[in-house]
Amino acid sequence: MLDQLEVLPGVQLLGQALTLAEIIFCIICLGCMVFAKKIIERFSAKAPAPKRSLRVALIRGVCLAAISAVMYVEVPSEVSKQYGLVTALAIAASVYLCYLSNFISAYFIFKRFGKSRTIGEQTITIPTYQTRALSLLTSLFFIILAVVAIVQQLGFSNLLEAGGVIGVIGVMLALTQASWAPDIISGLILLNSDMIEEGDILELPNGMIAEVFKTKMFHTELLDIAHNNRIMVRNTALRDHTLRNLSRFASNKGLRECLSFNIGYDTPAEAVEKLFNDVAALATEQRLPYEADHGMKAVLLETGDHALKWGLVFHTKSPARLIDLRRSINQLTQHLALKADINLATPLTHDVALHNSGAPPSISIAPAAPLS
């Protein structure tokens, strides 16, 4: 049955040109290229992510170079030319060499011009305008170099043929620039403004509080703190909306926050102030992440028709824990308000009486209690 199977001529000649040891060596190299990432993660788990990525690229480059060397030395030239093996290997080597050179250049640019930042107990290097701009220039250079190498390997030797191939690529880029160029430019503007960095806490227009996880060329990855999931937002979308950077404080006090509560007119202002002072004392006792040195302040925000809107103002320097801090203070306020017999619900200041005679309902409005 197996003897009746036909073998491709090129594969048969390739098998005759290589010894068993060389075939096994090429298979091992291909396996290392495919599983390079898992191998590095297995033996370099404690290394930073940029170093692991660099090692993966180097392993794949060495394996590709080894396979190319074996094919070039052992496979007869007539077989290589007949089946285009030399051309295919040359194109693959040229493309990967440009990719590896670009990767190494970006790695050293990132280390040289990146900005160190401490988030919690971890110190990371974040991208800056200089790293992004230089990386774009080096990427453009190596892309052009790879295109020229591919054109030469395919046999487009004269200027007209080479110019036609490069022109087709240029037309494709021009037709698609509306989908990628604005995001690149917006990303550069955001980095140059120095208003958004990795690790910053942002409040989006829809009220979501998220941490900047990664700033990439075309988009920005955010970490939704409330739901603990990642969000991808285009760089253009970030520039088109008003963002609040909660990590950039206007003073040394930290981020100013205000929680509002509706309390009836019948509750004296002294009772409200005492309630908020008790909340501040209990929050300090429980070591909530607010600035206890500046305390909490009771302010009257609005005088509504049915209740007074009181605000509890405090400062914090931990915007990443802002959601938990708000919930904890709300819970403490509700707990102490019940003890102080203060109702935090908006009181009803009118009564509706319904009559069975079909007459329209009568509404009696209760006068609001004056402030004492």
Domain positions in the chain: 8-83, 255-339
CATH class label, 255-339: alpha beta
Question: In the structure encoding, which two tokens stand for residue 258, read together?
Answer: 């205000």
Cβ neighbours of residue 222 closer than 8 Å, sequence gap 6 or more: 202, 210, 211, 212, 213, 230, 231, 232, 233
What pLDDT digit, counting tens, does each position of 145-174 carry? 888 888 777 776 666 666 776 777 778 878
pLDDT at 44 over 80: no
pTM over 0.85, yes/no: no
Query: How far apart (Å, rounded) are the C-alpha atoms in residues 282 and 23?
Result: 73
Q: What is the pLDDT of residue 350?
A: 56
Which pLDDT score is estimated for 6? 43
pLDDT of 55 reads: 83
What is the tens place of the pLDDT at every residue in 172-209? 878 888 888 888 888 888 887 878 888 889 999 888 99
Q: Determine the pLDDT at residue 69.
A: 79
42: DSSP letter: H
Q: Which residue has the higher pLDDT, 238 or 346?
A: 238
Average pLDDT, the chain: 80
